[in-house]
Amino acid sequence: MYTLVKDFQDYQFVYFWLENRKVVSPKLPTLEHAKEWFRDQYFENYQGTERRKCRLDRRQNVRAIYSDSEIAYSRIIPSSPGRRCCDKHIKVDLDYSEAKISRLKKAE
């Protein structure tokens, strides 16, 4: 199971993934980059027969297209994220940046 870490290094925020307390990803500049890296790893490591032709959850695109319009009771826009773990919204599991920033503020 991967753990997403947010850190503050060289005066910038970085994100990286851990597995069993070992860093398994490069330092990534944004949360979106972290999501893309996780999705790519999921597809590379998947052992079964792949049925998807596109790595993106197509329903995400539908939500983006119709987000501004008011479609009541539509079956097109699902209320939940995708079924695969790489389709779900990611969140930071460990945040090391808060402590580092507070130390920098105290040093000033």
Structural domain for 29, as ranges: 2-55+85-107
78 in a structural domain:
no
pLDDT at residue number 50? 61
How remote is the C-alpha of 74 from its chain's centroid?
27
With bands split at pLDDT 50, 70 and 90, how would you rate the model's confidence at 41?
A: confident
80 in a structural domain:
no
62 in a structural domain:
no
Burial 46-84 (b: 16+ CB within 10 A, else e): eeeeeeeeeeebebeeeeeeeeeeeeeeeeeeeeeeeee
61 in a structural domain:
no
pTM for the whole structure? 0.67
Residue 50 identity (one-letter amino acid): E
12 in a structural domain:
yes
65 in a structural domain:
no
Measured from the Cβ of residue 11, the count of other Cβ atoms closer than 10 Å reads 6
pLDDT at residue number 10? 93
With bands split at pLDDT 50, 70 and 90, how would you rate the model's confidence at 100?
A: very high
Q: How many domains does the chain have?
A: 1
